[in-house]
A and B are shown apart, each in its own frame.
Chain A
Amino acid sequence: MKERPTQSRLLADENTSHRLVSACRRLLKVFPIVHIASWQDGSWLGLDDAALLISCAQAGLVLVAFDRATLPWHAGQVLRAGENHGGLVLFRRTVRSTAYGDQARLLTDFWVHEGHAWDWVNRIVYLPKSP
């Protein structure tokens, strides 16, 4: 593993930027997030959604991604197939892809105040959360 400064709990999918990871670390130095391109030498980049979700469950990682309908759909398929996924945090479509600071604030606030204590298996959360 190239990058594992702390025990990683969150895996940033490739449709998020490395800049999200950097922005999270600027807010919280030991924030437990790693980008998928840095995890396991990038070998998970070739995984399709279902394989990635199952791999995350086995590694105890929550996947952080921008919401695209196919990902939660695949999460449902994984469940129907009798497997588990490790949990999903999805940025709603109102969050701009390049608003790294906003993404980092949403994610770190949520994780510090709620997410870190949850059992994430088969759980999906959208950020920002519904009022």
Chain B
Amino acid sequence: MFASFSNHETQQTCRSAGKRIGRHRSPQNLDFVHSVHKNVSMSTAYVSGRVPARYERLIARQARAARTSKSDLVARYVIEKSLETEFPGISFRDSLSGREAYLTGHRVAVWEVLAVNEETKSVEKTATHFHWSRVLVTRALAYAKAFPEEIRKSREGETDTVPVAG
């Protein structure tokens, strides 16, 4: 089973990358294929890997349930899992503005921690506000610092809408 994934905008790029891989060695003979093809204009890259067939079927089923393409779902899994590894304690969930980062095992989004910290101007006071240890706050703030645009969009998506009732 050969599974490949990419942003759908880069499918043309992926196809050409696949041909390049094929010239050197058949994908069927590889246990793992990792190929990154930089596309400067779109700022996306191509990554592919082999998985046991049962996982391909599982992902296909999950993609149907989520009403998205298999490649988009796998791309999301790769991005989120790599970020969860890079930023321990951060997970992702659905929100009105798309996927949003939140503190694993808690109900608080990263943008909410940032918002409180902007009021308290102190990690210590923010930790006291949530009744958390400092490390949870610093984890959230580290993620917010690394992805300010994503956090800004999450925050705007949650707070710039009209309430459903008065």
Contacts and interface: CB of A to CB of B under 8 A. Distances in A.
B164 interface: yes
Nearest to B111: A68
Contact of B129 (A13, A17, A52, A73): A17
A68 B107 CA distance: 12
Contacts, number: 70
B80 interface: no
Interface residues of A, number: 34
Contacts of A69: 95-97, 157-159, 161
Interface stretch (A2-10, A40-48, A107-115): A40-48
Top-10 shortest CB links A-B:
A130-B166, A68-B158, A14-B107, A69-B161, A70-B95, A72-B164, A17-B129, A98-B119, A97-B116, A124-B165
Interface of B: 93-97, 105-109, 112, 115-116, 119-120, 129-131, 157-159, 161, 163-166
Interface of A: 13-15, 17-19, 35-37, 45-49, 52, 66-70, 72-73, 76, 90, 92-93, 96-98, 124-126, 129-130
